[in-house]
Amino acid sequence: MTQHLARAMHALEANQASRGSHFYPRFHLAPPAGWMNDPNGLIFHNNLYHAFYQHHPFDESWGPMHWGHATSPDMVRWQHQPIVLAPGDEWDRDGCFSGSAVDDNGVLSLIYTGHIWLNGQGDDSAIRQVQCLATSQDGIHFEKQGVVLTPPEGFMHFRDPKVWQEDGSWWMVIGARDDSDRGQVLLYRGASLRDWQLDRILAKAEPGMGYMWECPDFFAVGNAHYLLFSPQGIQACGYHNRNLFQSGYLRGCWRPGQDFIQNGDFIEMDCGHDFYAPQSFLAGDGRRIVMGWMDMWESPMPSKREGWAGCLTLPREITADAQGRLRQTPIHELMSLRGTEHPVLPCILENQRQSLLDCAQAMELELNWDCCESHAERYGLRLGAGCELFVDSQSRRLVLARRYPDEQLNGDRSVPLPERGDLRLRIFIDRSSIEVFVNEGEYCLSSRIYPQQDRQLQLFADHGRALCRGGSLWMLNDI
């Protein structure tokens, strides 16, 4: 272990011993202590799932980026492994930024961005970003191989490589910002992981579509290709793009050696308060799975008081519907966390509340509402005093609202109600998060929540009558 890795591990172990747990998740992947952001290098390799992630082990705030690491047999139960990358070499002195993992003839290989500030830490007016390689023989310990790609002329922000193999070649997409402050994704083709040539600009921002496109991913589902990325600099408009930074996708057609022909507008991938930098990978059986960072830049993070910050979303299977929109559904392996099933009986609520659970902190809930037969102004689910998931009958939207004024966390996120009358919800509640899947993944809303003592879960209807067709509730086991 290098000196930089040894220092990082020593700090992490010391901080883990004093980490608090009131908000620490029971069934989501979070750092042992310290800071976590983007998922990196998600891969199924040698019958084991690997999740690497951006990590600052020295304290609970963002700092020089390391790569944390966890492994799992099923994408559900994770075991923390030693930190695999620490900054400090000439090409990554100020950070080992985001990237991906591939199997190169049996060798687990990481491709990541080496970051250097040229005018001092935190000054993004002058940086150098290059793509680097690290390899492992055992999947746990990695050896840096140095720089394999430098940016083309006119690009300073040049990061987050996602690499895959197709048509007899290696391919890489990289997020970029040109000298006109226009976000774009560059496509490279490689004869090996060390030999890369610029193929073309895969996509670039139209006016208003952002000054930087981070964390790109590019994959096929069905008959279409999807460019997934996190644009910075999009202005909110109505119900759309309400977070500081967004994550979403463009749909289109692509073949190796050809342009990416877009078909349609940018679509947000998750409509909650906290979702960024999603990355996809293939499960052992070929399913396309995605995980994201369940936090948002420059938002309050109350877990910092406990010595940690950040967690990843649950793994979600990606499919495409008949219109080509991506749907996300929780992987079926998550059902293995379920304890005893508790039925939620059908009921009619009229200006009243009905308790489901006294203390909701690790649970899954399936719930069905009949919107055609429900006429209350607001009806849905309430968690403690700070979180509500409800139908607003006047706007015809499903709203996820959080109200934690002491934490400076207030605001609503929402999605349109389905045209048909049934609203089917699948909801996962952890100690400090809620993930909502609407009508088999037509929409998703992921948000961090911070209840203190009151975690009572209730159904409610205000100013009228609502028909709940029932469902099921499960307490979930720890991972």
In the structure encoding, which two tokens stand for residue 379, read together? 């009806």
DSSP string, 333-366: GGGGGEEEEEEE--EEEEEEEEEEES--SSEEEE
User: Alpha-carbon dihedral of residues 417, 334, 314, 474, nearest 10 degrees?
Assistant: 60
Q: Residue 341 burial (CB < 10 Å; 0-12/13-18/19+)? A: exposed
Name the pairing type of β-strands 34-45 and 308-309: parallel
5 sits in which H/E element: helix 3-17
What is the distance between the alpha carbons of residues 129 and 309, in angstroms, rounded to a whole number? 25
* Residues in a beta bridge with 133: 111, 146
Residue 430: active-site member:
no
- Pick the closest to residue 189 from 178, 177, 200 (CA basis): 200
Q: Residue 124 burial (CB < 10 Å; 0-12/13-18/19+)? A: exposed
What distances in angstroms separate CA 3 from CA 9, 10, 60, 84, 271, one per listed residue?
A: 10, 11, 22, 12, 42
First to last CA, the chain: 28
Count of Cβ atoms closer than 10 Å to residue 464 Cβ: 15
Of the candidates 38, 270, 274, 430, the residue annotated as catalytic is: 38
What is the distance between the alpha carbons of residues 62 and 99, in angstroms, rounded to a whole number? 17
Do residues 280 and 290 lie in contact, with contact meaning Cβ atoms separated by under 8 Å? yes
Do residues 369 and 383 lie in contact, with contact meaning Cβ atoms separated by under 8 Å? no
- DSSP character for 151? P
In the structure encoding, which two tokens stand for residue 145, read together? 């191989």
Distant-in-sequence, close-in-space partners of 385: CB < 8 Å, separation ≥ 6: 403, 451, 454
What is the distance between the alpha carbons of residues 207 and 285, in angstroms, rounded to a whole number? 40
* Integer-rounded Cα radius of gyration of the chain: 22
The two counts, helices (H) then strands (E), for the chain are: 1, 33
Q: Reading across the β-sheet that carries 155-166, which strands appear in turn?
A: 155-166, 169-178, 183-192, 195-204
Do residues 228 and 248 lie in contact, with contact meaning Cβ atoms separated by under 8 Å? yes
* Residues in a beta bridge with 173: 162, 187
- Residues designated as active site: 38
